[in-house]
Amino acid sequence: MEGLYPDRPATSSRAFVTLVTNADYALGAKALINSIRATGSTADIVVLHTDVPEAQGLDARLVRCDLLPTSDAFNVAHARDALHAKAAFTKGGKPPFHTPLDNFAKLRLWQLDYERVVFLDADTLVLRNVDKLFDYPEFCAAPNVYEGLADFHRMNSGVFTARPSAGTFDDMLAKLDVPDAFWRRTDQTFLQSYYPDWHGLPIFCNMLQYVWFAMPELWSWDDIRILHYQYEKPWQDHDKADKLRPLIDLWRMYERGEVPDLSTMPAP
């Protein structure tokens, strides 16, 4: 596993994996890990991290990882200022700690010593047991739905199923960093290109927080399995906080280690 430095051996053939590239995402991962444990899952929980000190206290298998060995031209094209200038986010605000180039380290999960993996961004919560996702094929992801039906053509890479393979990882690297490469939404755009026939998960397996106020008719607490705080994060002060207050309060409960009663959650 070149470029990976695990702190302990695997204890299962299956793992939930998240990526931590800074202190903010370590805080997000804390709540995510608490939420997974609350579901009673027996799978390993793995935190890939780019040598982030704040990751050390997390209750998970820690795997320090190097950034991908990409070229200088690739790195310049995908640096924060360059990427945001060329492909500005117009629907929501990316936080100041968002470092686009780091996102590609997510691909290192294909190097892990597991048979099956479910990847979860560090700004997600698992509200109900989703162990059945380990039995889904590679590659499954939910559509990027948060504003309208036009979003269904694009996947969201905050939640997906994968089968680690050194061969797949090497092939990804060969197709990632090519002349004039520009992946508009970093790993998300690349993975959709790499898996053009991706299998669709229901939106309840990656419910994006903007659905709460933009498409409330789709919101169903009884059905949501994974909640994803895309764009603004629940530990930030931001201009949509009042709109998203119940979701922020829910995240804070998990961050404190509490297990909320989802049956008491309000409707949008």
CA pair distance 48, 66, nearest whole angstrom: 10
Q: 4-264: CATH homologous superfamily?
A: Spore Coat Polysaccharide Biosynthesis Protein SpsA; Chain A (3.90.550.10)
> What is the Cα–Cα distance from 137 to 47, expressed in whole angstroms?
22
Question: Which structure tokens are listed for 23?
Answer: 């202190």
Give the H/E segment covering residue 142.
strand 140-143
CA distance 32 to 135: 21
Strands 124-126 and 226-228: antiparallel
Q: Is 144 helix (H, G, I), strand (E, B) or coil?
A: coil
Digit-by-digit pLDDT tens for the chain (268 residues) are: 899 999 999 999 999 999 999 999 999 999 999 999 999 999 999 999 999 999 999 999 999 999 999 999 999 998 877 666 555 555 555 556 567 889 999 999 999 999 999 999 999 999 999 999 999 999 999 999 998 888 888 999 999 999 999 999 999 999 999 999 889 889 999 999 999 999 999 999 999 999 999 999 999 999 999 999 999 999 999 999 999 999 999 999 999 999 999 999 999 9
Question: H-type helices in 69-179, by residue range?
Answer: 72-77, 80-86, 166-176
Locate 224 and state its tokens. Answer: 């949501």
Sign, CA torsion 13/14/18/19? positive
Side-chain-side CA neighbours of residue 127 (13 Å): 21
CA dihedral 81, 83, 85, 90 (to 10 degrees): -120
